[in-house]
Structure formats: C-alpha cells, structure tokens
Structure 1
Amino acid sequence: MRPLTFSDDKGNQQEWLPGGPRSAVDAFLEFVDRHRDVDNASFGIEDGENEEALVLLFDSGAIRRTKGAQNPRTEYRLVKNGGDYRTQAANFIRGGFTALDRPGPWLPDVAGLGRARLRSEFDGSVLRRTHPRELRRRLAVLTFVDGREPVPVGGVTHFGFGDGRGDTVNAWFAADGRGLVVTFDRSSALDCSGDARAQAGLYEGVAADLVEWVRDVPETDTTFTVAHPDGGTLVAATGVFTFSGPCALAEGLVSRLQETGLGVEATGVGRLLEGFLTVGDFTPDAVAAAVDWWSAEDIAKGFAAAAALEPERSGGAPLEREAVDRFCQIWADSGYNDRWDVHYVLFDGDTVEEAGEDRDELLGLVRTLGLERVDAPPGAATGEVWVRTDPRIDAELGHWS
C-alpha cells in the first residue's frame, strides 16, 4: 500500500498513510460523505508516487482515471449503479490504474462518454429488451395489417408498415438472425432526407452487408428512398437500429443525437413501433387500442393472414440431448443471461486465450444446436460469446442454474 491524497472540487484535501487505524477505502468514503453536496460532486484519489489518479464524477454518472504527469493518459467510463463507485475506488486503492482495466470499456474523451451514455440509455428501451424472435413475429403481423406481405429476397425478409401519413417502419432480417430496423418520422428534427450526405451519415457504422439491404431498393408505400452521395438511392431514416449483435443504435445515429442534443425518442421508434412491443398479449384488440391508423377490419384480416402463414409454434425441432447438456454445463460454469433474457452471455470479460478450448467447444455446440450467435457489444473482451436465447434451451437451464 502507498500514500494517497483525497480531494474534491471545493479544494478540500486529506492525506492517507498506510498503517493508520482506518483502511484507505473507508477513509475515502468517509471523506466523500463529509464533503459531498449538490454543488460538490467530484472526488478524487491521487497516487503521487505512481502518478495515477481516479476521479468519481457523481453528477455525470461516470469515473475518470489518469496515468502520468507529463502527457497524461486520461480515460472515462460510465458507472452502472451507485455501488460501482465504491467498487472502482476500492479497485484503484488496491491495485492502481491497471486494476481498473477489466470493468470497461474505457473511453478516450468526454465525447466518447456522451456516446456511451446514449447507448446505455437505449439499452433499457423497449426495442432493446424485445427478443428479435418476437420482434420478427410482430413485424410480420403488422406488415399484413398494413395490407402487404413480408417479402423474402435472397435469404433476407423485408417487413414494413406505416401510419398512413408518411411515417414508416421498415425492417430486414436474414435467416441467421442479423437484422436492421429503420424508422422514418417526417416531423422529427432528425429528418435529413433533403441532404444526401447527412442521410447517409445516419447509417455510419452499420455493417456493409446490412447497408446493402437499404441501397437501391424499389420505392414503396413504406420505403421512401433518397439520393445517396455515391450514387443510387438509400432508404430515408430518422432512426437506424442494428441487430448484428444486441440491438443497438447505429454509430451515425448516435453521433447525430449527440450533435443535436436530441434523445432516442426523436427517431420516432417509440410512437411508430414500441407501442406494439409493450403489450404483453399481442392481439387485434391491443393493436386497435394502440393506434388509429387501421380499421378494425384491416387489423383482423392482417392477424388472420399472418396466422395462416405462420408455422405451428411448437418450439422447434428436438435438440440433441448430449449437445444440450454440454451447452448448459458451460453456461452454468461460465455464463449468464443478460438482464432482458435476450442473450446468453458466456466467458464475460475473458480473452480468447483465457476462454480456451471450452470456447471452441461452445461455438461448435452453437452450430450443432442451430442457435443464433451474434456479435458481442463494442468494448467486450475478445473471448466473450453472445447467443440469442432459445425456449428449448431455456427449458433445460432451469436444472442447471
């Protein structure tokens, strides 16, 4: 242990020396409790000997770490809950700058922190917590209700509906589960359909194969297309949401929200889509109660048409018992479900090397069982594996948790 200095934004300081009656963690938390106020919400721990520091930014819901006095390396990270402040302070006191590496991701500047905050806020949204399997089912029904059918082309199915006033939802999902959802709200301040470069910018960061789904598509009642700066056309959007991993905002959309100071609600996703996802019992009556875009007759016909084409929902083909048991064993040893029960998260925080042969075996089991593996979120460790939950596996995991 080494000497530490505690400080705040009001100029208060306290030295802590090893060997005293109170631990460094308790002494620091006592310092925070004594001085924290509505106008005093930043508290630091400095290790002068190693030229390292940690600052708790209570007002910003973040922490900042610094290494070096000359040309210092400074990084930021969001804090998930109040207990996280104590945990990170204890980690820094115990092991310094590098002891904070694992609970990332760490961001290089305040702008990056702002983008991370937008993503974190979206992580609690209705769209994020809706399983893509159920999302696709409801999108199919709403497409029929709107008087059209889901269109499969080259292994990718297009869903689309609108409010009758030019505001639309379009979605494309591939057979492997990767998808793209696009909202277009003409009344939104995010509508940049008259500026080809700005419109293309909203799609920045979306995987190239997903962007191809919205390039040069036939214009319909739901797919309003605009010019692309490189030639051809692009589906107009005010919201772009990717499903190559956990549902996420496109990087270009995050940047635009940050530039304009707008929230995710400006994309129109709440009004145009999430109202259909919040209802637990997705019935014609629920849809009729949610919006006034369609007649009761259209809604009833749409549900009937979707039901006629929907395969019997028996939960899927039986799975190989040995493979199921081994998958569940690895999950019990090295995994958990994300907070919305949309994904199995395995080898959280591990590198590929740390996960080792068990990870290779897991990937083989995912293929054998026909599960949908998706990309891990940005900033995840290289060994993390994210797999969409499956009711057949869920039924077995109860015996292993």
Structure 2
Amino acid sequence: MDVDLWDALRTTPLAEVRRRAAIVGELAEVAPMAVDDAERQAWNDGGGQSAVWYFTPDGRALLLTFDHESELNLYAEGDYALQESFYDGVPEDLVRLVRDRPENYESLNLVDEATGRTIHYAGGVFWFDGTRWEPAEGFTAYCEREGVDAMGESGFGYCLDPYLLGREFTPESVVANRVEHGWYEDAADREAALAEVRRLFARHA
C-alpha cells in the first residue's frame, strides 16, 4: 500500500478533495456530471487509467480507480459477478451511482448476461462515510485472498498523483508535476500552461 498517499487522502478535508477533483477534472477536459443527487468528477490519462469521484450532498463520497494493465482489470475478464463483489461493504445508495448507468470514457460497463444488469468497472473501490475513507470490503477481501497488491494493482498511486494529495496544490505545483511527467515542449509552453492553470484555480477559489 502507498501508505503516505492513503494517509494523505484520509487527512485531507473532503471539501478540499472535492476542489482538487474539480480542478484536475477540468484540466483533463472531463466535464462534471450529475448522477442522481451526486456530483461526478473524473480524470483520465487518455491511455486507459482513470480516477472517478462521486460526492453526495450528505458529505459522503465514492472513489473508483482503474489501471487497464493491472491484475485488477476485470473488464478484460468480463467477470460481472467478481466486479460486483468489489463493491461489497459500500452502502447501496452509493453503489447505485454506478449500477445500471450509461457507459462513459472512464467507466465502461460489465454486464450480467442472466439479468442484463450492468455495473461500472473499477480496479479499486474506496468510499468516505462522512468521517473517514475506507477501501471496500469486497475489494480488499479479493486482494487478500488472491495475494494481489491492492493499492499497486488498483492504480491508486498513479491515478491519484495529479491531485497532489499531501502536497502543495497550487498552479505552480500542478505545472511542475506535469513537467516531471513530460508535459510541455519548452519554457513558452510551460508559461502558457501556468497562466491557464492560474485562471482555472481562480474559478475554483
């Protein structure tokens, strides 16, 4: 487990997590979406990895992470029942946010051939009960049973890297993090990006 990042998520106020999710989502050009009375925010890297957040009005949240190259890519296996089991322990009203919903880039559906019901795929399933974050019981039970590195294979570290949890979150730090990942060809590109990110932060002050 990436203990530092997990601790950073658990100690960051939900309002700040939500603000970062909105900013990172907009940077990734993923529009926020209303799902029932919850707000969905998401990020993807354009290559099959994603983080999807659902924030409810009562101060709870659901987080799904996905790494398409990992052992936890159940979409590749087409195993609906196993994917459904990953959500065990998560309150049903939160699971309803991802059950029998239209597909989107970050969240394709696994289908139960017997009933036609669907559920969004996820390598990692985590939820916030209003007080603390927890991994879903079904997700952790499977990883323990199969000897799978839950945080590593779920893409937790990679998918949450853009949110800079536990680190300074400013326009400058966001651009610096992108530079570390090979963004921008030259100094002029970086300066233009910084100006745009500053405008984005101002909108989400």
TM-score by length of 2: 0.80
- After superposition, the Cα gap between the structure-2 partners of 1:243 and 1:284, relative to the gap in structure 1 and judged at 3 Å, is same
> 2-side partners of 1:122 and 1:251: how far apart?
21
Other-structure match for 1:307: 202
User: Is 1:235 matched with 2:130?
Assistant: no
- After superposition, the Cα gap between the structure-2 partners of 1:299 and 1:240, relative to the gap in structure 1 and judged at 3 Å, is farther
Other-structure match for 2:59: 177
1:280 deviation in Å? 3.0
1:165 deviation in Å? 0.2
Other-structure match for 1:259: 145
Structure 1 residue matching 2:96: 3-state secondary structure:
helix
Aligned residues: 191
For structure 1, the 5+ residue unaligned runs are 1-117, 313-401
1:257 deviation in Å? 1.3
1:133 deviation in Å? 1.5
What do the CA deviations read for 1:138-163 (whole angstroms, capped 9, x no partner)?
00001100113322343210001101
> 2-side partners of 1:169 and 1:155: how far apart?
20
> 1-side partners of 2:193 and 2:46: how far apart?
13
User: Is 1:216 matched with 2:111?
Assistant: no
What do the CA deviations read for 1:36-72 (whole angstroms, capped 9, x no partner)?
xxxxxxxxxxxxxxxxxxxxxxxxxxxxxxxxxxxxx
- After superposition, the Cα gap between the structure-2 partners of 1:226 and 1:293, relative to the gap in structure 1 and judged at 3 Å, is farther
What do the CA deviations read for 1:107-144 (whole angstroms, capped 9, x no partner)?
xxxxxxxxxxx8xx699533222221111110000110
User: Is 1:282 matched with 2:169?
Assistant: yes
Larger Rg: 1
User: Is 1:147 matched with 2:29?
Assistant: yes
Which consecutive segments of 4 or more residues in structure 1 shift more than 6 A?
none
Q: Provide the identity percentage.
A: 31
> 2-side partners of 1:195 and 1:179: how far apart?
25
Contact 1:276 1:290 in 2 (8 A): no
TM-score by length of 1: 0.43
Other-structure match for 1:250: 136
Other-structure match for 1:205: 89
- The AA in structure 1 aligned to 2:116 is G
Matches within 5 A, 1:2-401: 125-193=7-75, 194-228=78-112, 230-244=115-129, 245-263=131-149, 264-274=151-161, 276-278=163-165, 280-291=167-178, 292=181, 301=196, 304-305=199-200, 307-308=202-203, 310=204
- After superposition, the Cα gap between the structure-2 partners of 1:141 and 1:259, relative to the gap in structure 1 and judged at 3 Å, is same
What do the CA deviations read for 1:74-125 (whole angstroms, capped 9, x no partner)?
xxxxxxxxxxxxxxxxxxxxxxxxxxxxxxxxxxxxxxxxxxxx8xx69953
> 2-side partners of 1:148 and 1:123: how far apart?
23
Contact 1:227 1:233 in 2 (8 A): yes
> 2-side partners of 1:179 and 1:274: how far apart?
19
1:275 deviation in Å? 5.3
- The AA in structure 2 aligned to 1:269 is F
Structure 2 residue matching 1:197: 3-state secondary structure:
helix
Contact 2:24 2:162 in 1 (8 A): no
- After superposition, the Cα gap between the structure-2 partners of 1:276 and 1:122, relative to the gap in structure 1 and judged at 3 Å, is closer
> 1-side partners of 2:144 and 2:152: how far apart?
13
> 1-side partners of 2:4 and 2:125: how far apart?
12
Structure 2 residue matching 1:177: 3-state secondary structure:
coil
Structure 2 residue matching 1:278: 3-state secondary structure:
coil
Structure with more relative contact order (C-alpha pairs < 8 Å, separation 6 or more):
2
> 2-side partners of 1:218 and 1:286: how far apart?
35
1:228 deviation in Å? 4.0
- After superposition, the Cα gap between the structure-2 partners of 1:223 and 1:260, relative to the gap in structure 1 and judged at 3 Å, is same
For structure 2, the 5+ residue unaligned runs are 185-189
What do the CA deviations read for 1:267-302 (whole angstroms, capped 9, x no partner)?
111111045233532123322333438655667546
Q: CA RMSD in A?
A: 2.7
- After superposition, the Cα gap between the structure-2 partners of 1:145 and 1:240, relative to the gap in structure 1 and judged at 3 Å, is same
Contact 1:140 1:306 in 2 (8 A): no
1:197 deviation in Å? 1.1
1:304 deviation in Å? 2.6
- After superposition, the Cα gap between the structure-2 partners of 1:290 and 1:232, relative to the gap in structure 1 and judged at 3 Å, is farther
> 2-side partners of 1:241 and 1:184: how far apart?
12
Contact 1:184 1:268 in 2 (8 A): yes
Contact 1:122 1:128 in 2 (8 A): no
> 2-side partners of 1:142 and 1:123: how far apart?
17
Structure 1 residue matching 2:104: 3-state secondary structure:
coil
What do the CA deviations read for 1:164-214 (whole angstroms, capped 9, x no partner)?
101101010011111100001111111111211111111111110000111
Contact 1:225 1:233 in 2 (8 A): yes
